[in-house]
Structure 1
Amino acid sequence: MSLIGVLTAGAGCGSGSFGSGSAGASETGAVESKATGDVGSEKFPVTEETDENAQSAETSEASTLQSDVSEERLTEGDSVYRGFRIDNVLHDQTEGDIHFHLYVPESYDGTQSYALFITLLGYQGLYFQGVGENIRTEEFAFEAQEYNNRMIIAAPQMNDWGETSADQTIALTRWLLSAYNIDTSRVYIEGYSGGGETLSRVLDKAPELYTAAMMCSSQWDGGYDRITEARTPVYFAVGEADEYYGPEPFRKAVQGIQEAYQEAGLSDEEINSLVKLDVKPSSYFSQGGVTNQHGGGGALFSHDKEMMSWLFSQVRG
């Protein structure tokens, strides 16, 4: 693994641009330089300490952008699974070590902004249950690539589904927005099962970071004020006979969000564009060859074109 300082802005773009390289690229050793380095097929910006006289006007914008991330370092994962660099670790001063898997399209070179998608794990995907188990057991990260070939995808692998995971997800999102040239009008997030619980807390803390969210087979643990102030659209999907949560937690959450929007004076049409409840009938699961609605939802929802198209068609105006 290599520890790479995250300090330089990508050439020709308005944000920093660290990358683990194109999908499937080879592992690199530790490298420090003032400019963008090339190692094998990988390209990433790296820096070394310099005195003030060595800094040029061309790096002034980068220095400004570096203020939020200069204290952070990233340890790059040393293996690849289906195009994802596995087990990168963001060492955040406040939130500690944040483990995540990352897919960066081969076409990304930092000169054009790309969308960002973050998928939050469900049961059997926590870090202590096995490195990479979240993307080995869920398909959201892979199916998402079918909807936008200019999209960076991150799959954090946390150790709980509570406040710690929510805060780490937010910290990782902010780092990705600083490290890559991201189109901030296309930042998406999804959470399945326990990952949905984490997502509800994320949306209660920093909904403005995300263009749209999709909650799958879970429950809402956050409040309603922040999400309705930000007007971040949310799609709720659950089976009518979900064995773990049932549909009632989502019905309650949707009602609470709708009422908050009504109090804010939004029309029914506006509200319907911002919150959607999709309770899947039992026939949906039986036709998909699934007998367990909760566990099967993780498999079927990622392949559901209506759901996935809804998420990735959202654009923040």
Structure 2
Amino acid sequence: MKLLLLLITILSFSCSTKNELPNIIFILADDLGYGDVGIYNAKSNIPTPNLDKMAKEGMMFTDAHSPSTVCTPTRYSLLTGRMAFRTGKVGVFNTPGGPSMIEEDRLTVGEMLQSKGYKTAVVGKWHLGLTFFDSSGKHIKDGGIEAVQRIDFSRKIPDSPLSRGFDYFFGTPNCPTTDQLYAYMEGDMIPVPPTQLLNKDPLPKHIYSLDNDDGMIAPDFDLEEVDNKFLSKSKEFIEKHSKNSKNQPFFLFHSAQAVHLPSFPGNDFKGKTSSGPHGDFIFQLDYIVGELLKSVEENGFGDNTLIIFSSDNGPEVPTVVNMRKDHNHDGAYPLRGVKRDNWEGGHRVPFIAYWPGKIKAGSVSNQITSLTDFMATVAEIIDFKLPNNAAEDSYSMLSEFLGLNKGKQIRKYMLQQSIEPYRSQTVKLSIRKGPWKYLDHIGSGGNQYTNNDDYWSMPIEKNIPNDLTGAPGQLYNLNWDLGETKNLFFEYPEIRDELIKKLNQFKKSGRSTNLKEITEVDLKKYEPRKFVSSENDTINYRLFIPENYDSTKKYPLILFHHGAGGLGNDNVKNLESPLILEWAGKERQMRNPSFILAPQIPITKNLIGENGKPRTGIMKVHIRAIHEIIDDLEEEFSIDTKREYITGLSMGGECTWLSLIERPDRFAAAVPICGGDWIIDMKAKEIGEKFSKLPIWVFHGDEDEIVSVEVSRKFVKALRNAGGNPKYTEYKGVNHDSWTLAYRDNELIDWFFSQSKIKN
């Protein structure tokens, strides 16, 4: 009964918002620690009245996390719902840098909201990579002052936020006050370019001002007033939207500079606290939050706006070290670790959600959540169905916002990533399950801990035992040990091994969320058949016939070629694929009723050659037999011969290419997946020349250890060299099983069934 009420509440919420979608504002602080906000840290002497009030009138999360312990990866994950390590890119950007970390075909929160009619804007720090060009049009890939001086500022930036789901952008390419390019960017241009080297002499001098790189500065860029500039632009956006488009919902991503070093509070905030320049900076950030909430109210959006506040990672090393010493303030309190570290202080962050009339005032949530969850949460709010190739690490927190979970955890697992800047520049990972946390490394996973008084090093911790000798990782129970002081690696082997297994699974599968539920068909629905060809070749096959088949209608046909694991004569192993199970299921067939043909390549003593690969000559005999099966099916059933499609995985991907060569006129579209290694050298050029005009979509995982990803790259290159325009998807961090993601991709399915020989 409770579950039914929950579903009714959420469904009624979705229905009620279709005509009145809420405005959404996400305010992201920079390097603000869990203990930097008063309501999270009773020992803090830094006043944060606006954030405290927001929490008391909304929902305060106590177990919320940035996906990464540094800024660029967190911003990627916030806007895509996907862990950034899956991109293969490590670290953060320096100007010029680029290209954008957000892939061109990657769905973002902004694009999703645009599809529902939202006006979208981002104001502030972008820091996701941008492509700058020199005067000859060449992409500048290196960083530094000399690289900045080569930028041709008259050229548009092709991968600006405008190309990643935002209608409006005002901000800075990277860290506003510690980068080689000190200039504002608007839209896809920098309207006022830098003209001279930064003069640091007039800037404040204190222990929190040292992270301020040499660089080129624009004449209108004041390093001490950056956050006030961002605030004025966000308020301007809200005011203009109220005047010009009040009935259109909007999304504003306000990405603050505060409180990233150097701590340069604006002139109006200097000396406002007893906690020095950094305390003043935190106070200014709190003021900015208050001003944004006030602007929402004053412009008539207060009753229908969801506002979320959080931080991109934990507090910075020099900040924590010196604030503890000079002002008795601990921005990481009560946690171990800081920015870059994989311990809790590096990624457990303040998270406050405010939504009058929807979120109960004064709510406190212990729900485990990540900033990756923003995308799935927004998707549920606006009733957007996420495809399987988007938001792969995102869970919706809407039911928690609405107070419907009653303590039930939404997430079973959660991933985190950190980076070791001083060692290998490699990503370190951790995984949570309830109170249990496993780290796949020794030490912090980020900062150096020494006693050498280095500005960027944390002092060695007192009263915390050294890591267990011989333990390659760390295991903690955060209910017992929030400070992560006792490594339980050897004491709970079953829990440790489960988390290691899950972590590896999530790395290889390309996702940590469940694939969207799809009904699987009973395999008995596939009729077993046998066929003897004109060459006396016997082929067993299975045939799915659409439910309620009507001979007066035309139906498309899909030919599916199995992988090497499906070889045999049992007419069963050829059915092991998400396509077989799900494309014949209720949801898929309601949308695209179709025949599915699944032949089984028989095992014969001569099939496999001395090199361990199938003999092409023998395989061609089987391919010809399968084409004869299709010929017979066209006579037996009402099949649309202009909408016959072919696909296959691994060995079946190779069979897909061979089938195309055997009957180049038959298929309307083809989807070969991670196959072709035993024909690539002799057939790539032929395939390119013959099928450059055929709609083809190729899939492969970039970490495939069975069939090198270079195989698919060569086929795609051959098609393009011949003038073709094939679609190509290369899954980052995925091994051989790229077909599970591909066959569950709604975009692929829609594309496949949209092709026809008439159209093409």
**TM-score of Structure 1 vs Structure 2, range by shorter chain:** 0.5 to 0.7
Matched with 2:554 is 113
2:731 alignment partner AA: K
Q: Does residue 132 in structure 1 map to residue 132 in structure 2?
A: no
Q: Relative to structure 1, is the Cα distance of residues 248 and 226 closer, same or farther in structure 2, using a 3 angstrom cutoff?
A: closer
Q: What is the CA-CA distance between 1:234 and the residue it aligns to?
A: 1.2
Matched with 1:254 is 716
Matched with 1:245 is 707
8 Å contact kept, 1:165–1:198:
no
1:131 alignment partner AA: N
Q: Relative to structure 1, is the Cα distance of residues 313 and 224 closer, same or farther in structure 2, using a 3 angstrom cutoff?
A: farther
1:194 alignment partner AA: M
Matched with 2:664 is 207
Q: Does residue 171 in structure 1 map to residue 628 in structure 2?
A: yes
Write the distance in 2 (CA, Å) between the matches of 1:218 and 1:119.
13
Matched with 2:652 is 195
Matched with 2:538 is 97
Matched with 1:181 is 638
Q: Relative to structure 1, is the Cα distance of residues 240 and 223 closer, same or farther in structure 2, using a 3 angstrom cutoff?
A: closer
Secondary structure of the 1:142 match is: helix
Matched with 1:15 is none
Matched with 1:156 is 599
| Equivalent pairs, count | 214
Can you list the C-alpha shifts for 1:283-310, whole angstroms capped at 9, x where unaligned? Answer: xx4xxxxxxx21x323332212222322
Write the distance in 1 (CA, Å) between the matches of 2:558 and 2:637.
13
Q: Does residue 85 in structure 1 map to residue 542 in structure 2?
A: no
Write the distance in 2 (CA, Å) between the matches of 1:255 and 1:211.
21
Aligned counterpart for 2:580 among listed residues 122, 141, 147: 141
Can you list the C-alpha shifts for 1:109-167, whole angstroms capped at 9, x where unaligned? Answer: 32211111111001210124x431121x2121233231644211110011255323322
8 Å contact kept, 1:115–1:187:
yes
Write the distance in 2 (CA, Å) between the matches of 1:277 and 1:106.
33
Write the distance in 2 (CA, Å) between the matches of 1:82 and 1:298.
23
2:651 alignment partner AA: G
1:244 alignment partner AA: I
Q: Relative to structure 1, is the Cα distance of residues 209 and 227 closer, same or farther in structure 2, using a 3 angstrom cutoff?
A: farther
Secondary structure of the 2:656 match is: helix
Write the distance in 1 (CA, Å) between the matches of 2:670 and 2:643.
11
Write the distance in 2 (CA, Å) between the matches of 1:143 and 1:188.
17
Q: What is the CA-CA distance between 1:225 and the residue it aligns to?
A: 4.2
Q: Relative to structure 1, is the Cα distance of residues 113 and 227 closer, same or farther in structure 2, using a 3 angstrom cutoff?
A: farther
Secondary structure of the 2:738 match is: helix
8 Å contact kept, 1:196–1:215:
yes
Q: What is the CA-CA distance between 1:173 and the residue it aligns to?
A: 2.1
Q: What is the CA-CA distance between 1:207 and the residue it aligns to?
A: 2.1
Q: Relative to structure 1, is the Cα distance of residues 311 and 276 closer, same or farther in structure 2, using a 3 angstrom cutoff?
A: same
Write the distance in 2 (CA, Å) between the matches of 1:95 and 1:175.
16
2:572 alignment partner AA: G
Write the distance in 1 (CA, Å) between the matches of 2:711 and 2:686.
17
Q: Relative to structure 1, is the Cα distance of residues 208 and 163 closer, same or farther in structure 2, using a 3 angstrom cutoff?
A: same
Aligned counterpart for 2:729 among listed residues 278, 281, 285: 278
Matched with 1:34 is none
2:708 alignment partner AA: G
Identity of paired residues, percent? 25
Write the distance in 2 (CA, Å) between the matches of 1:156 and 1:234.
21
Write the distance in 1 (CA, Å) between the matches of 2:554 and 2:632.
15
Q: Relative to structure 1, is the Cα distance of residues 141 and 227 closer, same or farther in structure 2, using a 3 angstrom cutoff?
A: farther
Write the distance in 2 (CA, Å) between the matches of 1:155 and 1:243.
26
Secondary structure of the 1:208 match is: coil
1:249 alignment partner AA: V
Can you list the C-alpha shifts for 1:202-236, whole angstroms capped at 9, x where unaligned? Answer: 11121211110101111262354466446321111
Write the distance in 2 (CA, Å) between the matches of 1:187 and 1:211.
6
Q: Once superposed, which parts of structure 1, at least 4 consecutive aligned residues long, lie more than 4 Å away?
A: 223-230
Asked which structure has the greater RCO (Cα within 8 Å, sep 6+), the reply is: 1
Question: Which structure has the larger Rg over C-alpha atoms?
Answer: 2
Matched with 1:26 is none
Q: What is the CA-CA distance between 1:178 and the residue it aligns to?
A: 2.5
Q: What is the CA-CA distance between 1:315 and the residue it aligns to?
A: 1.9
Q: Relative to structure 1, is the Cα distance of residues 306 and 134 closer, same or farther in structure 2, using a 3 angstrom cutoff?
A: same
8 Å contact kept, 1:207–1:227:
no
1:157 alignment partner AA: Q
8 Å contact kept, 1:111–1:181:
yes
1:254 alignment partner AA: V
Secondary structure of the 1:124 match is: helix
8 Å contact kept, 1:212–1:311:
yes
Structure that is richer in strand per residue: 1
Q: What is the CA-CA distance between 1:243 and the residue it aligns to?
A: 0.9
Write the distance in 1 (CA, Å) between the matches of 2:685 and 2:623.
16
TM-score by length of 1: 0.62
1:84 alignment partner AA: Y
8 Å contact kept, 1:239–1:297:
yes
Secondary structure of the 2:557 match is: strand
8 Å contact kept, 1:204–1:227:
no
Write the distance in 1 (CA, Å) between the matches of 2:539 and 2:674.
25
Q: Which moved more, 1:225-234 or 1:243-252?
A: 225-234
2:579 alignment partner AA: F
Q: Relative to structure 1, is the Cα distance of residues 186 and 310 closer, same or farther in structure 2, using a 3 angstrom cutoff?
A: same
Secondary structure of the 2:657 match is: helix
Write the distance in 2 (CA, Å) between the matches of 1:154 and 1:111.
20
TM-score by length of 2: 0.27
8 Å contact kept, 1:103–1:154:
yes
Q: Does residue 123 in structure 1 map to residue 580 in structure 2?
A: no
Q: Relative to structure 1, is the Cα distance of residues 167 and 223 closer, same or farther in structure 2, using a 3 angstrom cutoff?
A: farther
Q: What is the CA-CA distance between 1:247 and the residue it aligns to?
A: 1.1
